Amino acid sequence: MEQHSRTDAYTDRYAARAAGMVPSEIRALFAMVARPEVVSLAGGAPYVSALPLDAVGSMVGDLVAGKGAEVLQYGSAQGDETLRELICEVMALEGVQGSADDVVVTVGAQQALDLITKIFIDPGDVVLAEAPSYVGALGTFASYQADVVHVPLDDAGLIPSALRDTLDRLRREGRRVKFLYTVPTFQNPAGVTLTAARRTQVLEICAEYDVLVIEDNPYGLLGYEGEPMRALRADDPDRVIYLGSFSKTIASGLRVGWVLAPHAVRAKLVLAAESAILCPSNFSQLAVREYLLTQPWREQIKAFREMYRERRDAMLDALDQLMPDGCTWTRPGGGFFVWATLPEGLDAKAMAPRAIADRVAYVPGTGFYADGGGRRNMRLSFCFPEPHRIREGVRRLAAVVEKEIRLRDTFGGVEHDGPGGVHTPGPGIV
């Protein structure tokens, strides 16, 4: 008797929202990236080894020994109150005046994104996002079946006139935009920052068209020059929902982020969080609380900034010296990423296996678009490898691009599907 079986016997049972949750070849390629032979310019992982690990270790040990009954217990869905007050102090550095009562602590800002999308988005609702946009946000929007419409950005961030044009078009089409999702400062993946003048314009346009703004700001305190940019939320508390994170300023492994929302929205978020996870980890929250209370965290952020600036410089210098003609890239003033554009006729997604074979990895640009854009782009991160490895990585990458140009010259620029895109982010990619 013959047996019939499938790769996935449950395939007929999944909800429609799971349809887009398909791992791709690119994800499989990233299994190689973890090996030390490969210089990874792909991952967005912060360099947590720069933390004073001994001090953090004894702090956590004391915390468990001294307050174990609290640390190891459930907490509230909204998050620890003292931590929420401290979060308000952190946000004040970017001009945000928020009440601890309107803060919800989340499992990284990623969960805040999930909760916001869950409470606002019905299948088919329109979400505006920069082109390119954060891959983790696009994954979340896709999982709630949102229709993402991109708005282009340039070196000065989201382009206000393009935002207005897009909103006009959608209005003509009778489609309601639920919110604009933006990473205005040291954007992931483009590395660009929305200028002060454009911030005002973007807020004005969103007010005019009555569009909510989700401001995702994990890199805001990691600027290399001057004072932190003033957050969008600082100038329109009723329209802007602000997402923050300790992943880049303390440690990504703690998974502590937050959302600051208008009071009514905050109430919905707490209920949504409760049904998702009951409460965020008390252990992680109290570790962050203790760190902020007892450790020189402002000085540590300064040290992170210095380290990342050195790495940014190493990457930009290497790109300037080594990349073939026809390649361009952004020059970030902070954060973790450079956004590079390949010469006409090249395809960063198709090139990825060849790059990995030559022991260098990047994230192909298509992962940062919901509409198939970004074929000529790649995100190069400089946050994790040390400067000499960054230079080596760029050297290898430049050689790969040279070979790719030769292949293009042989076959001409071809349109092809190539390997699948990054549909959902692995933690190594965000």
Partner 1 sequence: MELGHVVVLAGGLSYEREVSLRSGRRVTDALRALDIPVELRDADATLLDSLTDDPPDAVFPVLHGAAGEDGSIRDVLDLLGVRYVGARADACRVAWDKPTAKSVVRRAGLRTPDSVALPKEVFHDLGAASVLDQIIRGLGLPLFVKPTRGGSALGASVVHEPSELSAAMVGCFAYGDAALVERYIEGTEIAVSVIERNGRPQALPAVEIVAPGALYNYTARYDAGDTEFVTPARLTPDAAERATAAALTAHRTLGLRDLSRTDLIVDPDGEVHFLEVNVAPGMTETSLLPRAVSVAGLDLGEVCRDLLLTQLTTT
Chain contacts with partner 1 (rule: CB under 8 A): 2-12, 14, 22-25, 27-29, 31-32, 35-38, 350-354, 356-357, 406-407, 409-412, 414-420
Q: How far is the CB of 31 from partner 1 (least distance, A)?
A: 4
Q: Are strands 212-216 and 177-182 parallel, antiparallel or unpaired?
A: parallel
3-state SS, 32-58, equals HHCCCCCEECCCCCCCHHHCCHHHHHH
Question: b/e string for 144-182 if b means 16 or more Cβ within 10 A?
Answer: bbbbbbbbebeeebbbbebbbebbeebeeeeeebbbbbb
CB 349 within 8 A of CB 390: no
Q: How far is the CB of 349 from partner 1 (least distance, A)?
A: 9
Q: Which is nearer to partner 1, 31 or 119 (CB)?
A: 31
Least distance between partner 1 and beta carbon 276 (Å): 26
Task: Identify which of residues 169 and 406 has a Cβ nearer to partner 1 in the complex.
Answer: 406
For 163-315, where are the E strands, in sequence order? 177-182, 212-216, 240-245, 257-260
Tell me how far, at minimum, the Cβ of 362 lies from partner 1, in Å.
14
Q: With respect to partner 1, which residue has the nearer C-beta, 15 or 69?
A: 15
Beta strand 157-158 pairing with 177-182: unpaired
Radius of gyration of the chain (CA): 22
CB 141 within 8 A of CB 290: no
Q: In the bound complex, what is the minimum distance in angstroms from residue 70's beta carbon to partner 1?
A: 38
Q: Which is nearer to partner 1, 23 or 52 (CB)?
A: 23
Q: Where are the alpha helices (DSSP H) in 44-159?
A: 53-71, 81-92, 108-120, 135-143
Amino acid at 57: G
All residues at 6 or more sequence positions from 235 whose CB lies less than 8 Å from its CB, including other chains: 95, 199, 200, 203
C-alpha span between 164 and 150 (Å, rounded): 12
Q: Cβ 241 to partner 1, closest distance in Å?
A: 34
- Residue closer to partner 1, measured from CB, 310 or 358: 358
Cα–Cα distance measured from residue 212 to residue 180, given in angstroms and rounded to the nearest whole number: 6
For partner 1, which is the closer residue by CB, 12 or 238? 12
Output the smallest distance, CB 259 to partner 1, in A.
Answer: 32
- Is 113 or 378 the residue whose CB approaches partner 1 more closely? 378
CB of 377 to partner 1, least distance (A): 17
Q: Which is nearer to partner 1, 28 or 271 (CB)?
A: 28
Q: Which amino acid is at 430?
A: V
Shortest CB 205 distance to partner 1, Å: 40
Q: Distance (Å, rounded) from C-alpha 128 to C-alpha 133?
A: 10
C-beta closer to partner 1: residue 387 or 426: 426
Look up residue 229 and give its DSSP letter: P
